[in-house]
Structure 1
Amino acid sequence: MSQSFTKLWIHVIWATKNRQELIDYSIDKKLYDFIHEELIHLGCPVRIINGMPDHGHVLFLQNPQKTISDIVKQIKGSSSHFINREELILEKFAWQTGYAAFSVSESQLDIVYHYIKNQKKHHLKKNGQDEFDEFVKLHGLGNK
């Protein structure tokens, strides 16, 4: 085969430091728009970004020239810098050090898209940590 083709959808979840509820309705659109632009700049087309006050979800196509860890590191670093530089909240903002990234097959894209879109509805039933633990267990990671 003389050409290389990749199409890797990635669902990434990460939380605010100490899961502080800092991303409220007054800044979430600005933050998500910034993250969207950063991902586009990195060559990672975005399907959806959404979240809750203590965590975020992103579904994007991975740029095959970049590792997931490099992409997430860039997004988390630049977005926390953006929040602090623009003084979108009163205190110093930071993300937790870790994250979770999952591949998403084409057949599951709409399901994941709607899951991310309807975050507020999902979190009426479970908090962010319980959601994260469920994802880790579902994907056979960790010992939870």
Structure 2
Amino acid sequence: MSYTQLMYHIVIGTRSHRPVIDQNYERELYSYILSFTKNKNGHLYRVGGMPNHVHLLVGLPSTLTVADFVRMLKISTNNFMKEHQPEFPMFEGWRSEYFAATCSLREKDKIIEYIKNQKTHHAKVCFKDELKQLLEEYGISYNEDYL
């Protein structure tokens, strides 16, 4: 038997960074993400975001790569939001790029608070600058043309 603790901070953005996730219906989307994660034998510690992106702190089983999880999550939530078109009328899809970084248990509470306080955080910082900060904090090189 293998013993693993694979925790990831994941950020997915809407196509063209458009603000299409209505605050009045984000809970429905987040509940769907919770169910999706459970169905993949993962653990959703926290989900939150803004009208143009979603943050997740998830624990994944060792049999599921983060790339596969994000790909399946985007497909599944894309279908969910299209099926609930009255609640998400402007949703056109997710960006192909995403952010994912491994996290330790020591960072868990800090990241949960960070995700919980997205609306306050974004009163001061735009999504592009937030993403650049995350990439730099985790030492991930990036091409600014794709942000």
| TM class by smaller structure | over 0.9
CA distance in 2, matches of 1:64, 1:45: 12
Alignment of 1:34-49 (within 5 A): 34-49=32-47
Which is further off, 58-67 or 134-143?
A: 134-143
* Code of the aligned partner of 1:59: L
Structure 2 CA distance for partners of 1:126 and 1:4, relative to 1, 3 Å:
same
Tell me the SS of whatever aligns to 1:99: strand
CA distance in 2, matches of 1:46, 1:35: 8
Match of 2:60 in 1: 62
* Code of the aligned partner of 1:48: R
Alignment of 1:66-81 (within 5 A): 66-81=64-79
Deviation at 1:142, TM superposition (A): 1.6
- 2:135 is aligned with 1:139: no
- 2:96 is aligned with 1:89: no
* Gap runs ≥5 in structure 1: none
TM normalised by structure 1 equals: 0.94
Deviation at 1:14, TM superposition (A): 1.0
Match of 1:117 in 2: 116
TM normalised by structure 2 equals: 0.92
Q: What is the percentage of aligned positions where both structures have the same residue? A: 27
Describe the superposition over 1:4-61 as per-residue Cα deviations: whole angstroms up to 9, x where unpaired.
Answer: 1001111100100000000121220011110110010001111010000000000011
* Gap runs ≥5 in structure 2: none
Greater fraction of residues in strand: 2
RMSD of aligned residue pairs (Cα, Å): 1.2
* Code of the aligned partner of 1:5: Y
